[in-house]
Each structure stands twice: as structure tokens, then as C-alpha cells.
Structure 1
Amino acid sequence: MHILLPPSERKASGGDGPPLDLAALSLPELTPTRARMLDALREVSRRPDAADVLGLPAGQAEEALARNRALTEAPALPAARLYTGVLYNNLDLPSLDPDLAAERIIVFSGLWGALRPIDRVPPYRLAMNASLPGIGGVAAAWRPALKQALRLDGLIVDMRSGPYAAAWKAGPGPAVAVRVFRERVVDGVPKRTVVSHMAKATRGALARGLIASGAAPRTPGELAKAAADLGHTVELNGTNLDVILHS
């Protein structure tokens, strides 16, 4: 089983280890594209229009650009501690078995392509749906490299958001996308709506439960059973595992 996650815009404030070593990261097939992205991001982050080019909110631009400019000198930290925010707070990667997490979790990234939780990188800011001068669309630039590097056997549990899912199509093993809905009864009729904040929390909790429990589903049906055993209300709809929240 492989669990695919998006990154988080919210990240730890800084690292506590040596600077980035591209050659030490997992999935070494991605190194050439990582180097290109790194150089392009550092260069654009020095421009006066960098915030607009990268689509950064005004209140976050100064800190994000400073981080991008310092990527090769800043102390790095494991991806397991880098990403914060709702999904990662519920996943709580640092408290999980590091070997099992490293084996089962892949975090997709606009800058690094894909990371294992043990990979050490500095804080950065680059969305997968951004465009970099000299490279173009970030997701499109990653597709050939990710296709070559990621040949995953076994069940794929896809928790990525749209831009990150667009960078790599899950396969060749069976793949299930996790969706989250809130169900309310309105005038006696159940109504389901897509939720955002709680969807992130639910995906994080589900990913944590699957790893902490040692679950090893090989098929979508086994995944649905494992999720139900963890206390989630789920439905298997084609290639989607729908998690239903009741209120």
C-alpha cells in the first residue's frame, strides 16, 4: 500500500540540520528536475515581481520569498516535520514508525516532485499549479520525471488535491482516490456536500490509522474494510473511497 499526499502550504519555521543535499534525497531519478526547479525558483524569488509570478498572498510573500532565496544554505529537516497544517496535524507523522511511514507515504511537491518522510529539505514555497520562467507549468514539467521515477506496485491510496494529482497518474497498481463528504438530513432527505477543512483532517486521520494499525490492504475492498474497522463510515464507489461525515 502506498499513500499519496499533497504538501501543506503551512510549514515548520526552520530546520535544525545541515543544508540541502539533493543527492541524498530518495527517488534519485528526480534529481535533475529538482536541480532545475531549485535554480529557477531561487532566481525568480529575487525578482521584484516574484510574489505575482508565484501567486503568493501579500501577507505571506516576504517570508516565503526569503525562504526560497535561502534554499541552498538554510538548515534542512525531515519532511515528516516540515509540513504542518490540518492534514499533517492529524497525521502526526513524527509519532509513527519511521520505517513504515517511509515505506508507505509519498508527499508530492512543486519543488521536489515527490518526497519520502525521511527526506531532509528546507522550508520553501512553490505550488504545483504555479509557472516558473524558463520552465513553464510546474505540474507539466514534473510529469516525465515522475512517470519514470514512480513505478508503484500494490494498492495506491490517493489523497492528493487536484494540481498534485495532475502531475502523476496513479498506476500501474490499483488506485483509490479518497473523497470526503458531510451528510445532513434536510426535510427528511439525506444531502451530501463536499467539505474542505474537515476533508483534510479526515484524510490525515485515515492515513494515520492505516499506518498505525499496520493495515496492508491489497484491493479497494480490503481498504474499505480497513477504514471501516478504524471507525470511519465509508462507501466504495468505483475508483473512489468516499468517507461520510455525519452531523
Structure 2
Amino acid sequence: MLFLISPAKSLDYDTPLGDVPHTLPLFTRQSVELIDVLRRKTPAQVSALMDISDPLAALNVARYEAFSPRFTERNSRQAALAFDGDVYDGLQARTLKPAQLQWAQEHLCILSGLYGVLRPLDRMQPYRLEMGTSLETARGRNLYQFWGDRIATYLNERQAEEKSPVVVNLASQEYFKSVDRKVLRARVVECVFEEYKSGQYKVISFPAKRARGMMARYAIVNRIGSVKKLEGFDADGYAFAPDVSTPDRLVFRRRAG
């Protein structure tokens, strides 16, 4: 069973990590190809392409220029410890024990516009490139065309020995669209997190993102290996709602944030 999560816009390369093992990203050649395209763009072009402020565009242009195909302790850090958004607030990767980090390395995949797929301990240099960006390359008009079936093929390879492979999607739709469902051989299970507000249950962005990270942590800490066991998730007041769930769409609800 593999769990997919999205990356984050916010990054933390300052908090001391201590002695944490690392691996290298798997699609460095493709990352370099994208960086080569991005390096040709001015800050103004990056600002328009990504709909970001001029200072943020300038920061990322500097990041593209500094990018190196060689990943070191100075220019990179482990992906699960570098991302710092809502999902990662729920994941709390820095508090995972070494054995739990190793389990995560084997079962958790971070989808990325620049890196394709990152394992939690893969070194990552700071960047911003959302999967939905319409960056034109020799492979097509956007990043979905650039990555093509490569991500789905990789996920198939990761579960090649599984009799009944399962992918649990905890990523946003923007990122999960990068997984070619026609190529993917695994069963896909989605987890949905709803809040009670104004007399009805609905998905609210911030708590839902954090809950996806908490579900990933729940799977890691408890070494979840079956869809049925996901139903036991009860962090922060969430509870499985069987009456509105289906076998491939598990809904979790809570009445107070």
C-alpha cells in the first residue's frame, strides 16, 4: 500500500535536524530539464507564469540559478522535513522515530511538479513549481504532459510484487491528476475530511489539508496495510462515517474544529 500526499509552498531549511538519514531523488534528470527551462525566464515572466509576487518570483529565479544536480547537506534537506505547509503540520515528520521514518520511506510518496515523486528522505533543493503550472517544455504545454505516464509507471514498479496493490490518495486533485489512471494498475482509495458548518458537513480547505497529513502519520505510526484499518483514524475529533462512504471513498467527519 502506498500513500500519496502533495508538497507545500512553505519550506523550512533552518530548523536543525540532527542526524537523519537521506536518499537521493529518483528523477534528477527530469528535474534538471525543467530547471533549464525555468532558467530562461525573467522574474517578471515567472511572476506571470505562477501568479506570484515580484519578490517571490525573484527568490525563485535565484533558486533556479543555484540549483545543482549534486545534492549535498548544504544545498538540500530531506523532503518530508523541508516542506512546511498544512499537510506537514499534520504529518509532524520531525517527531517520527527512525523506524517510523523508514516505514514512511517505503510507503509514502510526495508528488512534486519539479521532482515528480519524492520519498520522505530524498534530498530536495528549495523550489517553487506547482503541478498545475502551464510551463511549456519539449514534452508539452504543461507539467502534466511533461511527466506523462512516468509517475504512474513508477508507482506500478513500487508495488510490482503486490497481489492487490492499493494507492491511498491524500493529495490534492491538482497533484493527483499527474498520476495517469489509465496506466496505474493499483486500486485507488480516497480519504475525505469534512467539517460540520452552517448545518451541513463540507470540506474546508485548511483543516482538510492538515487532516490528510494526520492520516499519513496515522498510517506510518500504525503501519497500516489494509484499507479497512484506515477506518480507525480518529485524530482531532474525526470519525469514520460509514453511511456516506464507499469502499473507495472513505469519509471522515467532525463537528468541531
Where 1:114 maps in the other structure, the secondary structure is strand
Quick one: structure 1 residues 69 and 245, their matched pair in 2 at CA, closer, same or farther if it must change by over 3 Å? farther
Query: Match of 1:68, as an amino acid?
Result: Y
Q: Distance in 2 between matches of 1:159 and 1:14?
A: 27
Aligned to 2:30: 33
Contact 2:76 2:126 in 1 (8 A): yes
Query: Match of 2:66, as an amino acid?
Result: A
Aligned to 2:177: 166
- Pair 1:110-2:118 in alignment: no
Question: How many aligned positions are there?
Answer: 231
Q: Distance in 2 between matches of 1:75 and 1:229?
A: 35
- Quote the offset at 1:76 in angstroms: 0.8
> Could you list the per-position Cα deviations for residues 137-158 of structure 1 after superposition, in whole angstroms to 9, with x for gaps in the alignment?
0122112222332213432211
Pairing partner for 2:233 from 218, 227, 230: 227
Point out where structure 2 has 5 or more consecutive residues left out of the alignment.
18-22
- RMSD over aligned CA atoms reads 2.6
Where 2:149 maps in the other structure, the secondary structure is helix
Q: Which has the higher strand share?
A: 1
Q: Distance in 2 between matches of 1:125 and 1:57?
A: 13
Point out where structure 1 has 5 or more consecutive residues left out of the alignment.
18-23
Where 2:196 maps in the other structure, the secondary structure is strand
- Pair 1:124-2:127 in alignment: yes
Q: Distance in 2 between matches of 1:57 and 1:238?
A: 43
Contact 1:68 1:125 in 2 (8 A): no
Contact 1:16 1:76 in 2 (8 A): no
Where 2:63 maps in the other structure, the secondary structure is helix
Aligned to 1:144: 149
Query: Match of 1:242, as an amino acid?
Result: V
Where 1:43 maps in the other structure, the secondary structure is coil
TM-score, structure 1 normalization: 0.82
Quick one: structure 1 residues 198 and 59, their matched pair in 2 at CA, closer, same or farther if it must change by over 3 Å? farther
Query: Match of 1:50, as an amino acid?
Result: V
- Quote the offset at 1:105 in angstroms: 0.7
Quick one: structure 1 residues 129 and 212, their matched pair in 2 at CA, closer, same or farther if it must change by over 3 Å? same
Q: Distance in 2 between matches of 1:168 and 1:107?
A: 12
- Pair 1:177-2:190 in alignment: yes
Quick one: structure 1 residues 241 and 57, their matched pair in 2 at CA, closer, same or farther if it must change by over 3 Å? farther
Pairing partner for 2:60 from 45, 56, 64: 64
Contact 1:108 1:164 in 2 (8 A): yes
Where 1:123 maps in the other structure, the secondary structure is coil
Aligned to 2:222: 213
